[in-house]
Amino acid sequence: MRPAPYAAVAGQANLLDKEDKLIDGGKAFTIDSVSYIFAVLMGASPAAVYLESTAGGKIGLTAVMVGTLFLLMLF
C-alpha cells in the first residue's frame, strides 16, 4: 500500500512502474521524513505542498487559495 498523495502525483508524472508502484519511492519517503524532522526541530508545523497539484484546479484558483493559506500559516 502506498500513500495516496504520492501515488496521485507519481501517476501524473508517469513515475509508476508496471505494477503501479513508485519508481525510486524510497527517495521520496526519505525526503519527506527529513523535512518533517527538520520542521519539528525548528518548532514549525510540517507542511505537505504536493497535494494541491492533484486537486484538479482549472483556472488557477487552487494555487491562489493554497498560497493564501500558506501565507496565513506564517502568522
**Domain range annotation of the chain:** 4-73
Burial zone of 66 (CB within 10 Å; 0-12 exposed, 13-18 middle, 19+ buried): middle
Q: What pLDDT score does 7 carry?
A: 72
Q: What pLDDT score does 58 carry?
A: 67
Give the number of residues written for the chain: 75
Q: Is the pTM of this model over 0.75?
A: no
Tens digits of pLDDT across the chain (75 residues): 455 666 777 777 788 888 888 888 778 778 778 888 888 898 887 766 555 555 566 677 777 887 888 889 887
